[in-house]
Each structure stands twice: as C-alpha cells, then as structure tokens.
Chains A and B, each alone.
Chain A
Amino acid sequence: MKNKKGLIIAICAVIAACAVLAVVYQLAGPKVQSGTKAYTLEVVDDKENVKTYTGKTDAEFLSELMDELTRQGEFTYAGTQGPYGLYIEGVNGLIADYDADGAYWSIYVNGEYGMYGADIQPVTDGDSFALKYEGSNGN
C-alpha cells in the first residue's frame, strides 16, 4: 500500500515536471503564425547555383512549405525523421552524404544559420529561407 502511494506520488511529480517543460515550450518555443504568408526559399547546390522559389503559403512550418512545393512539382527533397526532428538528406536530387565526405544540407532563416529542424522551423510572413549544400571543402 505504502509502495503504491509512493509510485503515485512519483508519477505525479513526473507529470508536474512534464507540465513545467510544456509551459517553457509554449513561452519560449518556436512561434507558429497561421494564415497566408509571403516567403522566399533559395536552394544553393554544391556548385553554388541558386534556385529561388517565392510565393504565398499557409504552411506553418518549413517542412510543410517544402511539401507544398513538392506537390507543385517544382521541388523535391529527401529526409529522415531523427530523434530531434527532420534531417534533410537531399534537395532537388542532390544528396549530401555526411559519412562519405562530410557534406550536409543546412537551413538559413533570414540570413542567419537556422536553430531548428525543418519540421519545427516556423514560417512567418516575409521569411526568407535558404537550403544550402555544405561540402567538406566549405562549399
């Protein structure tokens, strides 16, 4: 009986800790903006060729915008869901193989190196995104 009571108290403490972290996420986490937003998305490949997509979207997150562009047939990407979000492996058919040569795809948001993965990066009105192929030689 005492054992069960202890377990219940401990589970309540875990739930309380979860609630605190959920509040922290609500207050300080990525902010989502609903409605139609203007965006620019640049894809910079391994030869520094730039392909630019502009338009308006209702997407709340960058990955949703990428899915939208994929459906329009102008853009493709490949990625895997990791423990902390979507990891972009390839864009427009160009795969970055980190294991082979240290190459990867990075996300820039309004000129700054992105803090979040594509599936938690919010889209806000006027945002300018860039997906850049980062090679081991700095390209």
Chain B
Amino acid sequence: METKGPSKERKAVRDIALMGAMLALLFAGKRALDMLPNVELVTLFFMLFARHFGKKTYPVCLGFTALEALLFGLQVWVVMYLYMWPLLVTLVLILNRKEIPLWGYSILSALFGLFFGAFCAIPYLFIGGFSMALAWWISGIPYDLVHCVANLVIALVLFPPLDKALFRIRETLELG
C-alpha cells in the first residue's frame, strides 16, 4: 500500500541531516563570538531550533556539549552544559504551548543569561558545599549581567527575522 509523504527511512535521514545542520550552526555561532566573553549566539539558536524543531533539539544539546568537550577537554562546564541547554530547550517547549508574542523569547533569553551563573553553580555544591557555590555565583554576577543584556539585545534584533526565515525553510522543505 502506498503512503503519502516521505518514508520512515527518508524521514530519519532528513532528521539526522537537520540535526547536523543545527549542530554546525551552533558550533560556528559559538566560535564566531568567542573573543567576546558572555556574548553568544548559542542561546538564540537553541531557542529558535526548539521553537521550530521541538524535541529534536535535545540530541543536538548533547552533540554540542560533546563537540565542545572534544575541543576544550573535560572540565566542570561540560557538566553545566549537560543540563543548561536541555533546560533552555524545555523552557522554550513550554512557552511554545502558549501563544506568546515573539519578544517573550527575548525576555526568556535575557533571564537565561542573568541566571546562567546561578544554575551553573550547582556542580560546586558537590565540590565545595553551599558556601563555595554561593561565592562562585556571586563573584560571577557582573558576567551574568553582561550575558543578560547581550542576550536581550541579540534576541530582540535577531529572533524575529530568523524565526520568519526558519518558518519559511520549514515549510519549503517540509521539516519539523
């Protein structure tokens, strides 16, 4: 019996290619702004991918963390990446269920940057206890403030046009 639409195998191949493209964009985006600490495109890309491709973004989070670890070695931030990016994707998936204006994602991006250090302090609870985690978070607040402002500006400027572009790509290539 013939079925409409692409076969399971074709869909799987397409998904793998899609995830590869997402990973490549994330990696290139990260490297492009490496010289500016706490100014990054990764949050923006993860939000866009989660909005358009949903749960397919979770394996990309793992792939991105693995690629970064391969390049820079296994350090504490690898543990942080393992839960921070899936957390962001989960938050976007929750927002996706509600009809919120596009700027809502910019606010999420800003708050994610602002509390990035607080969430990243979690591994230090196990390394040096509560006082170490708290000291580590507080000492990093100036960096979190930069991260927050940068994320807000980047998302306010780039989220709407990239969202539109991804919507078109998704429609044209029947992705998502």
Contact = CB atoms under 8 A, between A and B. Distances in A.
Interface of A: 3, 6-7, 10-11, 13-14, 17-18, 21-22, 24-25, 28-30, 81-85, 98-99, 113, 115-117, 120
Contacts of A85: 139-140, 143
Contacts of A99: 72-73
B101 A29 contact: no
Contacts of A115: 132, 135-136, 139
Interface residues of B, number: 31
A17 B110 CA distance: 10
B101 A84 contact: no
A71 to B, nearest CB: 24
B10 to A, nearest CB: 40
10 contacts: A10-B104, A11-B107, A17-B111, A18-B149, A24-B141, A25-B142, A83-B77, A85-B143, A98-B75, A117-B139
Given A30-B139, A98-B75, A120-B139, A22 B132 contact: no
B148 A18 contact: yes
| Chain A at the B interface: SS class | helix
A3 B139 CA distance: 36
A85 to B, nearest CB: 7
Nearest to A26: B141
